[in-house]
Amino acid sequence: MRKRKSVAAILAFMMAFCLLFSAFPAPVCAISDLTYHSDARVYSPKDGETFKVGEEVPIRVYAGFIVYGAYNWIQVSIEKDGKQVYWNCYNYTETTTEYDLGTFKPTATGTYTITAGTTNSAVDSNPDGKVIRAITSTRKFKVKASTIKTIKPVLNVERTAKKKAILTWDTPTGAKTQIYRATSKNGKYKLIKTVSKSKYTDTKIASNKVYYYKIRFTKKEKGKKVYSKYSSKVKAGKYKPAAPFAVTLKNTSKGVKITWGKYKGAGYYLVDKSTSENGEGEVIACCGDNELEWTDTDVKSGKTYYYRVTAWVGNEDKPRAKTKAVKIKYSN
């Protein structure tokens, strides 16, 4: 992980820089304005571009960072009918370049608005409030209906207790989901529930058994009942409580979900990522003391990533604790 400069040191540098220009009639670098010295532009999706329900919408943003010596973030939000359906924050150090920020998969038809902006640690040390601090680019794109027959659901399963497994997925508009369960990957799958929501909690399982799940969507199209493809078979292993302040990783449809145990006395957590076990980590998220998970959407299928979490307190230059690097090969 790169050596982290304290926020206090960054602010001291900024204030010293301002004093050099004190002869100007108006302040040229007020700290409250520093976020506006950076710029973001949405390259993809293009304005007016059309996609189908369930189709992956690529998110590509150009960003120019002009505030040096500070952590820089790109923020992206997507709204539909005035409601936010996607938000993420990405940390980068390069000053001017294009960034491939992953994809967004719409589950309903309509017109969507994507906005992008930038901020930095000189004005915002924890930019995760689900809002864009300084919007500098806005685009609109449309999503049309798609036949359910071509959709392959992406199922996520998490064993949260000895007798509980939580299943989540994205349901297409107007569809229902059939949930199947088996006690071996290639065993006989039994239909256990049909639901309209995108989440199901299975409590009818034994504490000492492993289970497998798969789902498919069903919907009426042109008066006939049609079905989607089946999802991949997903394992729910025996329940294992997470070790204190240890990192666990899970592949999801949105990216790699990173969770960790709470560290007593932590003020905030930094999550860093690398493509090798002993490589220099890149900070991708800054989370508050009660935020114990983060989803990394900037991942590619088939590629292996390493993650670790560091607990920090205030403006100290040394961390309180750091987890071991944990690896995962992303597959979606």
CATH code at 260? 2.60.40.10
Do 160 and 114 share a structural domain? no
Do 220 and 124 share a structural domain? no
pLDDT reading at 66 higher than 70: no
2 falls within a domain: no
Do 205 and 81 share a structural domain? no
Among residues 75, 108, 143, the one where a domain terminates is 143
**Could you tell me the pLDDT band of residue 5, with boundaries at 50, 70 and 90?**
very low
133 falls within a domain: yes
Do 277 and 231 share a structural domain? no
- 50-52 and 96-104 beta bridge pairing: unpaired
Report which of residues 149 and 8 the model is more confident about.
149
Do 135 and 163 share a structural domain? no
Residue with token string 């992953």: 102
pLDDT-wise least confident of 188-192, 198-202, 261-265: 261-265
Do 258 and 201 share a structural domain? no
pLDDT reading at 269 higher than 70: yes
Name, in order, each residue with C-beta under 8 angstroms of 206's C-beta and a sequence gap of 6 or more: 163
Please tell me the predicted confidence (pLDDT) of residue 120. 77
CATH code assigned at 54: 2.60.40.2550
Share the mean pLDDT of the chain: 83
Do 156 and 121 share a structural domain? no
CA 288, 304, 271: angle at the middle one, nearest 5?
Answer: 15
Q: Which of 60-64, 77-81, 143-147 has the highest mean pLDDT?
A: 77-81
**Could you tell me the pLDDT band of residue 84, with boundaries at 50, 70 and 90?**
very high
| 3-class DSSP assignment, residue 60 | strand
Among residues 143, 166, 197, the one where a domain terminates is 143
Q: How far apart are CA 40 and CA 20, in angstroms?
A: 28
CA 129, 173, 233: angle at the middle one, nearest 5?
Answer: 85
How many other C-beta atoms can be found within 10 angstroms of the C-beta atom of residue 56?
A: 13
Amino acid letter, residue 214:
K
**Six-digit token string for 211:** 């289970």
pLDDT reading at 125 higher than 80: no
**Could you tell me the pLDDT band of residue 188, with boundaries at 50, 70 and 90?**
very high
Phi first, then psi: give them for residue 37, nearest 5 degrees. -85, 0
Report which of residues 14 and 83 the model is more confident about.
83
Residue with token string 């403006």: 315
181 falls within a domain: yes
Amino acid letter, residue 42:
V
95 falls within a domain: yes
Starting from the edge strand earliest in sequence, which strands make up the sheet with 50-52, in order? 50-52, 135-144, 110-120, 72-80, 83-92
Residue with token string 């690896």: 327
Do 298 and 190 share a structural domain? no
170 falls within a domain: yes
Q: What's the predicted TM-score (pTM) here?
A: 0.46
DSSP state of 275: S
318 falls within a domain: yes
pLDDT reading at 24 higher than 50: no
pLDDT reading at 155 higher than 80: yes
Do 263 and 230 share a structural domain? no
The count of structural domains within the chain is: 3
Do 293 and 173 share a structural domain? no
Among residues 94, 118, 143, the one where a domain terminates is 143
Residue with token string 């006989």: 188
Q: How far apart are CA 78 and CA 85, in angstroms?
A: 6
Do 230 and 169 share a structural domain? yes
Proportion of the chain in helix, strand, coil states, percent, rounded to 5: 5, 45, 45
81 falls within a domain: yes
Please tell me the predicted confidence (pLDDT) of residue 30. 53
Domain that holds residue 169: 148-236
Do 294 and 179 share a structural domain? no
**Could you tell me the pLDDT band of residue 77, with boundaries at 50, 70 and 90?**
very high
List alpha helices for the chain, DSSP H: 7-20
**Could you tell me the pLDDT band of residue 142, with boundaries at 50, 70 and 90?**
very high
242 falls within a domain: no
Q: Which is it for the CA torsion 96, 98, 103, 109, positive or negative?
A: positive
